[in-house]
Every structure is written in C-alpha cells, then in structure tokens.
Structure 1
Amino acid sequence: MEIKFIVIDDEPPALQVIKTYAQQFPWLKLLHTFEDAVSASEYLRQVPADLIFLDINMPDINGLDLARGLTTHPMIIFTTAYRQYAFEGFELDAIDYLLKPIPFQRFEKAVQKAQAHSRQQLLPAGTESLLVHSSYQCVKIPLHDIVYIESMEDYIRIHRTGQAPVLTLMTLKKILEKLPSERFRRIHRSYIVAVDKVRTVVNRKVKLSSAAELPVSDSYIDFIRDWKQL
C-alpha cells in the first residue's frame, strides 16, 4: 500500500534527514518538500497527500495552525525540537510526534503507525461488520459482538462478547463516526458502549452484558435519559 507524503520544515538538513530515512521504505512516495508553510498549504489545495511530516516551529505559520486550517485530512507526523508541543499535536489526532534530532528507529516506528492507520478499512455506518488493522492483520468484527470500546490514548480497545479484545490504532472520535448512532453511544471521554449490551444503570454507572461497569460522565449524561426511554 503506497503512502504519498510531503515534508514541511524550514531547516534544509531536517528535510534531508526525512528524505533519506524514507528511502528505506519502498511504500513511501515523496511528492514534494517545502521550507515554508504557505507554499505547502497552496500545494495541498491542488495535490492530495496521504501523509505530512510537519515541523511545528516555522517563521511564517506555526505547524499546529497549519494543521488546524487544512481542508483535507491527511495523516500528520509532527517534527520539532521542543517537547512541550506534544500534547497539542496529539490533540489534533496526529499519528506521531518526533523529537529532533530524529533517530532512525523512532522514524521507523512512526511510519509503521502511519501504514497501520492507512490500512484501516472500516466499512460504512449501517453495515453489520467492520474491519480493523491489528497486529499486522485485518480483523473482521461483527457489530453485534461489540460490547464496548475503550480509549487507550492514540489506540482503542474493542471489547467483544466471549472473545479477546482487539487493539487498533484509532481514536474514539474516528470510530464513532463509522458506527451506527442508534446502536452505539459515547458515555465518557474514554468509552463507547453498544446500547443493546447495557443491562442496568445505577448511580451514573452502566453495567454491561459482560459484567463490566463503566462511568457516565457529565458531558454524556443524556445517555441515561435516552436509555430509560428505549
């Protein structure tokens, strides 16, 4: 599976490092490099890229601001010499965050995460199964097997009836967009539940068919009212 990428960094040596590292992976195809964010932004309006290596500290436009302003949604791997930007980078659903100088092993891990993410082939909402990439293989999960989904930072864990959970690279927000809203509801920043697997609600906790008990947070308290009306 080919991944087309661009690199945006105002430091030519940093551009060269990423170009050299990327040559070790035949499935990475370099489209262009840019030393300024303005030119890169204009390019992306015309040419779609699957992945962007994006420096955060640039003189014209901050890399975080550029990411927020994109009208398309390519994968992003932030690069910077400053560790304090990591949280903001992951808040933007970045695939990874590389601290300069970038070791090759760390670059390899980041692009493998990007490859795994690109292989996520979730079926459209309304279908009866979804496919996720886990442990270098595609796993087909019938929707009726899902009990709940748990956030694990930049991964999620899909808990199933009578089977081991499946860990896959994705956010709760992204997977919720792919699931039928009448069957799956978010109840907490860390949990999505299958509505038909909820057995009881007591003291703002739901008990599921698997016997797991999960909290309902203030932001999703409407779930309790809606569940009682089913």
Structure 2
Amino acid sequence: MALKCIAIDDEPLALRLIGEYVSRFPSLQLVKTFEDAISGAEYLKTTQVDLLFLDINMPDITGIDLVRSLKDKPMVIFTTAYKNFAYEGFELEALDYILKPIDIRRFTRAVEKAVDYYRYKNKAATDETEESLYVYSEYRMVKIELGSIEYIESMEDYIKIHITNNKTILTLMTLKKVLEKLPAGKFQRIHRSYVVAVNKVRSIQNRKAELANIQLPISESYLDFIRHWKQG
C-alpha cells in the first residue's frame, strides 16, 4: 500500500519537481499539492495523509507554524533553501530536512526513511518483534539497528547510545523512555545512568559488567540483573 502524501510549496517549479520525483516511487501516492500554506493547512484539518513534503519559508505562514498548528501530524520532510531552520525541524520531530535544490539521491534517502519508519510504526502497533530503533539526532531521524547497540548512557535530559565501532548517537530522551521502545529482556538497566544490551555483557565481576571496551557499574538497586544474566 502506497503512502498518501501531499506537497506544500509557494514555488510552482519546486512542486513540479517534487511531483516528478514522487512519481518514481511506487511506495508513494501524491494526492494533492498546494502553492500556499493556508490552503494546505485547511486540507490537513479534514484529510489524513501519511507524509507531508513542506517548504518552510512561505509568505502567508511558515511551514514550521503550519506543523505546530496540526493536531494529527503526518510524517514531515521539510524541503527548504534555508539551513537555519534545522533546529525548529528537530523540535517538531521532522523525519528529514532536505536543502534545495533537491537532489534525487538525497530525496531517495528521505523517502526510504519515511517508508521504513511507516513500517516500523505499524509493526509496533501490532506488537511484532522490532530489530531497529528510531531516534532524533542532529536534526533528523536516525535508524539504529538493535544488534549494533552496546549500551546507553544517561546525560540528564539526553541519552548517548553507544554502538559498535566506538560510534555514539546523542538524542533528547530519558533512559526510562528509551527502555519503553526496546524489547523487554534484551536491554536492561544496571544503574541509574546505564542500560546495557544483555548479550553484549561478556562477564560480571565485583558488581561491574564488562563489555567489549568498557566496564560499567551495577548499582545496588539493579542487582537482579546479575541473576538474570547468569540464567540467560
């Protein structure tokens, strides 16, 4: 089933280009285009779509304000000539942020992300096993394979996700919230500051969990983890 999408942009040439690009993807169905944000906003109040391609700097209302006004937000891909709106897009949890002139390769990556995230959300709704995690980082949504996660570290309002090859991803989230998104049993909290991938723990000694490149403390409140790990 194709994702229903609309495009809103005050530049007719940009709309035609988006329409041409969308036509190349069987996974997308462009149902409507709008040259002004107000008409697009009115349409979205009565019609549900899956994906919105949206310019930001428009004369009547900005794309940022349009998204803020929506009660039921579709997935949003901002298409803009301005880099300075990236943070606002991040706050609104935009799926992606493409700079004009829009390159087909960059457009393709954004569409693939939208299709993957749509499937992810619908699998989650039916409680199917997930193999990936989606978080917002560096002003766009990032897909992380669960098998690549070593451990997750709390940094007050942010978390740092440590993945293989010593890479990290920083996102605005709490450990409690990320645990709700992860498969129960495969990831466990061992400290107020740490969640570990259970299968990445190589050994436990002196209340410390040894991973590939680090030892993490196991606090008094989470000593049950040791028993769980041994039984696993």
Q: TM-score range by the shorter chain?
A: 0.5 to 0.7
**Count of aligned pairs:** 195
Normalising by structure 1, what TM-score?
A: 0.64
Call closer, same or farther: CA 1:53–1:60 in 2, change over 3 Å: same
Return the alpha-carbon distance in structure 2 between the equivalents of residues 201 and 25 of structure 1: 55
Map Cα deviations across residues 101-160 of structure 1 (whole Å, 9 max, x no partner). Answer: 1112211121111111112144359x6x632469xxxxxxxxxxxxxx998652334257
Call closer, same or farther: CA 1:123–1:115 in 2, change over 3 Å: closer
Aligned position for 2:73: 73
Greater Rg by CA? 2
- Following superposition, the deviation at residue 176 of structure 1 comes to 5.0
Aligned position for 2:37: 37
Asked whether the 8 Å contact 1:150–1:192 carries over to 2, the reply is no
Return the alpha-carbon distance in structure 2 between the equivalents of residues 123 and 116 of structure 1: 12
- Following superposition, the deviation at residue 96 of structure 1 comes to 1.3
2:71 pairs with 1:82: no
- Corresponding residue to 1:156 among 144, 150, 154: 144
Q: How does 1:109-120 map to 2 (within 5 A)?
A: 109-120=109-120
Aligned position for 1:12: 12
Return the alpha-carbon distance in structure 2 between the equivalents of residues 113 and 19 of structure 1: 18
Return the alpha-carbon distance in structure 1 between the equivalents of residues 131 and 183 of structure 2: 16
Aligned position for 1:123: 124
Map Cα deviations across residues 38-88 of structure 1 (whole Å, 9 max, x no partner). Answer: 221221121111000010101121111222222113111101111122232
Return the alpha-carbon distance in structure 1 between the equivalents of residues 31 and 117 of structure 2: 20
Aligned position for 1:105: 105
Asked whether the 8 Å contact 2:77–2:110 carries over to 1, the reply is yes
Normalising by structure 2, what TM-score?
A: 0.63
User: Percent of aligned pairs with the same residue?
Assistant: 45
Asked whether the 8 Å contact 2:6–2:52 carries over to 1, the reply is yes
Instruction: Give, as a single letter, the amino acid of the residue that structure 1 aligns with 2:124.
Output: L
Call closer, same or farther: CA 1:55–1:194 in 2, change over 3 Å: same
Asked whether the 8 Å contact 1:5–1:32 carries over to 2, the reply is yes
Question: RMSD of aligned C-alpha atoms?
Answer: 4.3
Call closer, same or farther: CA 1:150–1:57 in 2, change over 3 Å: closer
Instruction: Give, as a single letter, the amino acid of the residue that structure 2 aligns with 1:28.
Output: L
Structure 2: any 5+ residue segments left out of the alignment?
Answer: 151-162, 165-170, 226-232
Return the alpha-carbon distance in structure 2 between the equivalents of residues 193 and 49 of structure 1: 37
Aligned position for 1:62: 62
Call closer, same or farther: CA 1:194–1:35 in 2, change over 3 Å: same
Return the alpha-carbon distance in structure 2 between the equivalents of residues 226 and 30 of structure 1: 52
